Amino acid sequence: MSIDQNVSYSKAKKIGEYYLIFLLIFIPGVVSAGRLLGIGADYGGYIELFTYTGLERDSVEPAYRFLRWLNDFLFDSHVAPIYFISVITALSLKIHAFKSLSSHWNIVLFLYFLSFFFVHEYTQIRAAVAIGIFLCSIKDIDENRPTRFFVKMLIATLFHYSAMIMLFCWIYTRMARSIKFYVVVTLSGVVFSIFFTEFASTLTKYIYMLQDLIGLNKSGGESDFMSPWNLKYATLLSLFLLASTLIKKEDSLNFTLYKIFSFGLCCYYYLLPLQLPVISVRFAEFYSVVYIILMVNMAYNKDYCTVKKGYLLLFMSLGVTVLYGYAAMKTITII
């Protein structure tokens, strides 16, 4: 093959990749904006935030105040354009991040669409953009570029206030270079959540019994208490422990992903006893998404796995991802 033919082939391949990426961003944007998989959770809340019928039009992050103003001016306050713009922005950021963090970004994206897409781009569109910005900051964590990281943290906070906890993620990834440290801290969170959540649930049972006896209205119910045995996070914990047996500290980028994965699990388990379900799950989903990148990277790296073990690791990751996606769709009432 001549040089000219090689150049033409390279250009055609690049154009084909750009076209594929365009479709992978545009089609999910239409699906989410059109609610083609069902209304889902949070949609009513977004109508209140982004339309004239809303009662709390100022209770939204600065970036969305501007987007809402622009939407009011151009589209007569219809909520679909905000969904579409948010989804294409979030997916553009995430694809950029996946390409910079993994040489097999297409596999990462495929697994992402099977799981976190339903929680982020289909439901929590503000957090979806903030998470995309966070994923683009992982290289800054790995290469110790604090200025770039904190600038991105501030930008992410403009889209969702939960991004402020990125500060603690930065600190957590610098606390130790020991794999054992992150295993112990994560498992301690599991034990902590089991003990205190069960204790709080038992205590609340008696409080509600007392309220019934004296005729007071209950402020909640026993079912309000989230369980540390949540299947989604139990499976993620199992993958984390598996990764702990394979990860190498010398592999800087993947070790950084591993530490972020640990931080996401800690957000869930350590916040459970506070019984703040939205916050604990939101923070956990913000950071646990990196498990997909980490698992794909290890599966295709001969330093971690043989070919057979790599396929086994991918199969396990696929199983966990499908389970997570199914649980997510059930939670947000898509299925």
**What is the C-alpha radius of gyration for the chain, rounded to an integer number of angstroms?**
22
pLDDT at 208 over 70: no
pLDDT of residue 244: 92
Contacts of 301 (CB under 8 A, 6+ apart): 251, 254, 310
pLDDT of residue 72: 75
pLDDT tier, 198 (very low <50, low <70, confident <90, very high otherwise): low
pLDDT of residue 265: 94
Q: Which residue has the higher pLDDT, 77 or 181?
A: 181
Burial (0-12, 13-18, 19+ Cβ within 10 Å), 318 = middle
- The torsion angles phi and psi of 218, rounded to 5 degrees, stand at -80, 145
The whole-number average pLDDT for the span 23-42 is: 87
Q: Which residue has the higher pLDDT, 197 or 36?
A: 36
d(CA 333, CA 41): 6
Q: Identify the helix (H) or strand (E) that includes residue 195.
A: helix 179-214
263-280 pLDDT, tens digit each: 999 999 988 877 666 788
Residue showing tokens 């509600």: 208
Q: What is the percent of the chain with per-residue pLDDT over 90, rounded to a whole number? A: 40
Closest to 116 (Cα-Cα) out of 103, 134, 142: 134
Closest to 261 (Cα-Cα) out of 286, 297, 228, 231: 286
Closest to 254 (Cα-Cα) out of 179, 149, 321: 179
95-147 pLDDT, tens digit each: 999 999 999 999 999 999 988 898 889 988 999 999 999 999 999 999 999 99
pLDDT tier, 224 (very low <50, low <70, confident <90, very high otherwise): very low
Ordered DSSP codes for 98-159: HHHH-TTHHHHHHHHHHTHHHHTTTT-HHHHHHHHHHHHTHHHHHTT-HHHHHHHHHHHHHH
pLDDT of residue 101: 96
Tokens, residue 281: 């799950």
pLDDT of residue 214: 53
pLDDT of residue 16: 84
d(CA 292, CA 317): 7
35-47 pLDDT, tens digit each: 888 877 777 777 7
Q: Which residue has the higher pLDDT, 216 or 265?
A: 265
pLDDT at 182 over 80: yes
Closest to 130 (Cα-Cα) out of 25, 327, 282, 261: 282
When the pLDDT of each residue in the chain is averaged and rounded to a whole number, the result is 82
- As a residue count, the chain comes to 335
pLDDT of residue 324: 75
pLDDT of residue 223: 42
Closest to 164 (Cα-Cα) out of 154, 174, 173: 154
- Using alpha carbons only, give the angle 194, 197, 203 rounded to the nearest 5 degrees: 135
pLDDT tier, 220 (very low <50, low <70, confident <90, very high otherwise): very low
**DSSP character at residue 249:** T
CA 151 to chain CA centroid, nearest Å: 20
The whole-number average pLDDT for the span 230-258 is: 90
Using alpha carbons, list the distances in angstroms from residue 70 to 58, 66, 74, 76, 78.
Answer: 15, 6, 6, 9, 11
pLDDT at 193 over 90: no
pLDDT of residue 147: 96
pLDDT at 17 over 80: yes
* Positive or negative: CA dihedral 130, 138, 92, 236: negative
